[in-house]
A = this chain, B = another copy of it.
């Protein structure tokens, strides 16, 4: 069959299924669902007019034809990997692809990148700003910086920095007829919530902070909700209410006087920033160097 007609994606599914003798494991390998593999194999069998697997309920057996085809197919994929590795080899020595949350990207990482480029002028840092965790098997990402509890299975994890969370607001809220002076005064203000981790009870939040401060909270307080931390902090800068801010996100606004910390109560939180990457990425000097720089920056912070 001419290469223009080769069903390449289905052949990749077949290759994975044949290697694992399992659609479930092939799916994990290729970062798709078992249904996707099943459908690809079925479609390939129909297209080629040949059975590739015999299904015995929960397991698979390769047919004879499939067994014969496996060796050249594997060789084919290996040659393609080699070709792509050749293409990228001259380039990737200087590229670091890092995944961080949008808030952390704009408020902490990107403002500091100039310092990394001074340290390594030929470097290229590609920042992937996303709120999703990285699936390193499916995404072309070198490392991630994640705010959480640090429980990332199967990956190299090291703490980058811990930080506190505390109320911040516009200086305007400290004045006027209803000034914000004590934690109890918060009940008269609009609380600005960051819902990034609303599904995780151990994530820092207003209810948690208020409880730690010993403030009894009645029902139905005025509230604003945002899906990123930076947006919540922006709303505070705009005088919309009081946000519970992380220092890394709020630092520039605090320094500039756009935000103030009305009272000093910072609560201890379980969450911290972690560097996350596949173990084998650490072998690359450029990754190791970037991590070293991150730690330097976090230490100086």
A residues adjacent to B (C-beta < 8 A): 1-6, 8-9, 11-12, 15-16, 29-31, 47-50, 52, 65-66, 68-73, 75-88, 90-92, 95, 124, 137-138, 140
A3, B81: Cβ atoms closer than 8 Å: yes
Task: Give the CA-CA distance A12 to B137 in the complex, in Å.
Answer: 23
B86, A5: Cβ atoms closer than 8 Å: no
A-B contact pairs, 17 of them (CB 8 A): A1-B140, A2-B137, A5-B138, A8-B8, A8-B9, A11-B80, A11-B84, A49-B88, A49-B91, A49-B92, A50-B90, A69-B83, A70-B83, A72-B83, A75-B75, A76-B76, A76-B77
Interface of chain A, main secondary structure: helix
Stoichiometry, as copies per complex, reads: 2
> Please, which residue of chain B has its CB at the minimum distance from the CB of A47?
B140
B91, A50: Cβ atoms closer than 8 Å: yes
A72, B48: Cβ atoms closer than 8 Å: no
Given A49-B88, A49-B95, A95-B49, answer yes or no on A5-B83 (Cβ-Cβ < 8 Å). no
